[in-house]
Amino acid sequence: MRSRDLAAMLLLGAIWGGAFVLLRMASPAFGATALAGVRIAVAFLVLMLFLRHWRDLRARPLALFALGVINTAIPFWLYAYAMLGITSGLGALLNATTPIFGILIARVWLGERLTVLRIAGIVIAFAGVAWLVRGAIGTTGGSAVPGVMAALAASLCYGVGACFTRRFLSAVDPVAVAAGSVLGALLAIAPFSVAAWPAAPVPPQAWLAALALGVLCTGVAYRIYYSLLQNVGAGRALAVAFLYPPFGIVWGALVLHEPVTPGLVAGCGVVLAGTAFSVGLGDRMLSAR
């Protein structure tokens, strides 16, 4: 991987790791549906600055709309909902399961091969997730279960979205993919966001968090992500999810003073180790001998 692509992955990990903190700050004031709509609308305006020609959006309109629903509208709503009940660190860690879902979907849909080591990595990663979920349930008395399930469902959507992009949009300019999919997401979610707009005024802090989500964590981040997809492929681009947990945990501790427990750190290590093997790290280590 080129140093430029590696730097892009590190930057993207830092940005998306911080998104969970911003979601925790904005979700209670907006509600999940309204916040997802604001985030997507702001992101679309940002991505228009990168788009060279409007005609690029007409390349594959139905595919771009479908990608927007699968990879943006639904997971953005799910994560905004999840952050109402779980910590930002746990949310970032659950998002690290995205490559695993992507691998499983690619096996079924695209016929990609799974080795014994990759299967073992998937099992280890999900065991780590189960351990963390059990701890979260024990700590919260079960109130974290809906948030955990929503976060895992969002990760599943991202895995589907990566495979969908590879299957139907690999030849389309990455900026057009980012802008077109966000436009599709906006068209899909706007009526629901308007209907769910909060009755009480939204505090300035929540507005700032929502704008940061739209500008930085979606508009700029999508521009980087879809370029990575084109440059390094779906499997390696999804591997940026390895970086969410450490960044998410650090941002959560610094900004929201969330506790960093030994169980969370250990669970993070198990999930990341399993995920690393699931994307082929173990196979590459063996082949290098």
Q: Supply the pLDDT for residue 142.
A: 72
Q: Supply the pLDDT for residue 7.
A: 83
Residue of higher predicted confidence among 41 and 98: 41
Q: Report pLDDT digits (tens) over 132-166.
A: 777 766 676 677 889 989 999 999 999 999 889 88
Which residue from 80, 11, 16, 23 is spatially nearest to 244, judged by alpha carbons? 16
Between CA 64 and CA 172 the distance in angstroms is 10
Please determine, for residue 1, whether its predicted confidence score (pLDDT) is greater than 60. no
- Tally Cβ neighbours within 10 Å of residue 266: 14
Between CA 141 and CA 218 the distance in angstroms is 33
Between CA 289 and CA 283 the distance in angstroms is 10
Q: Supply the pLDDT for residue 287.
A: 58
Between CA 165 and CA 181 the distance in angstroms is 10
Binning pLDDT at 50, 70 and 90, where does residue 225 land?
A: confident
Which residue from 220, 243, 273, 236 is spatially nearest to 20, judged by alpha carbons? 243
Distances (CA, A) of 209 to 4, 12, 19, 170, 221: 29, 18, 9, 32, 15
HEC per residue, the chain: CCHHHHHHHHHHHHHHHHHHHHHHHHHHHHCHHHHHHHHHHHHHHHHHHHCCCHHHHHCCHHHHHHHHHHHHHHHHHHHHHHCCCCCHHHHHHHHCCHHHHHHHHHHHHCCCCCCHHHHHHHHHHHHHHHHHHHHHHHHHCCCCHHHHHHHHHHHHHHHHHHHHHHHHCCCCCHHHHHHHHHHHHHHHHHHHHHHCCCCCCCCHHHHHHHHHHHHHHHHHHHHHHHHHHHHHCHHHHHHHHHHHHHHHHHHHHHHHCCCCCHHHHHHHHHHHHHHHHHCCHHHHHHHCC
Tokens of 148: 């955990």
Give exposure, 234-252, as e/b (b: 16+ Cβ within 10 Å): bbbbbbbbbbbbbbbbbbb
> pTM here?
0.86
Tokens of 206: 């929540």
Which residue from 45, 36, 130 is spatially nearest to 80, judged by alpha carbons? 36
Between CA 200 and CA 188 the distance in angstroms is 24
Binning pLDDT at 50, 70 and 90, where does residue 213 land?
A: very high
Quote the percentage of the chain above a pLDDT of 70: 91
Separation of CA 245 from chain center: 11
Please determine, for residue 279, whether its predicted confidence score (pLDDT) is greater than 70. no
Residue of higher predicted confidence among 67 and 107: 67
Q: Report pLDDT digits (tens) over 41-95.
A: 999 999 888 877 777 677 789 999 999 999 999 999 999 999 999 988 888 888 8
